[in-house]
Structure 1
Amino acid sequence: MDFDAISALDELLLGACLLLLPAVFLAFFAHHGRRTLVAAPGLLSFVFFSLTFAHLHLADASASEFTQWAYCIGLAVAALLIPLSVLNLRNRWLGFIHLITAAGILWSLLIGSLLLVRDSM
């Protein structure tokens, strides 16, 4: 495992904390049957972020331009799911916790883009 991969493990852990912890917490406060929808922004973002980490280990070159655009569009879709998620909470004041999710999406956009183009962190 090279140095970039070891450094990316730290970034993946921070991204997991920023994306998954609010998703799990907010899922407890969702309307019955809407837990997946409330957790969707964090879960979707983490899936895309994990795929960039897998690309770092499996591919030898940087990702294609299509893959980079697909990653950015996927994270934009995850960010657009935040208002829908807030509407499905029992107490909408808890929606402020999605600020942590939004920070995680921005973090994964920055770090994931660096991982896809294989630029040094």
Structure 2
Amino acid sequence: ADHDVIAVENFRPKFLAKSTMARKAADAAIGATKKALLEMARKHGRIVHLVHPAHTTMDCARCGARTKHALPLSERTYACAACGTVSPRDKNSARVMLARAGLNPAGADGARPGGTQFRQAA
């Protein structure tokens, strides 16, 4: 089966909301989404790893080094000063989350075991 194990950030949006009402709405939406994901995973026999979200965009998925400064959201490419790895920021973060969950980050590139590739939607 596809996606037998899933790693996602255990995200808490409190720091994003400025008002109490906005914070409560964001917490409820994230909580409902997380609950639905966990329930669907359980129902279908999948495992979900909730990963601490700190520094997922600052850590290198290849060598584990951490950049000294957070990248601005406009910067979409991650470049590691320690090992020279360059990759799209979101893919690097996905690989970091997989590694933190104790999983093999190589699967983040769309390759299935056995070498078959996912079909891309047109």
TM-score by length of 1: 0.29
User: Hey, which of these two has a bigger chunk of strand by percent?
Assistant: 2
User: Hey, which of these two has a bigger chunk of helix by percent?
Assistant: 1
Bigger relative contact order (CA 8 A; separation at least 6): 1
Larger Rg: 2
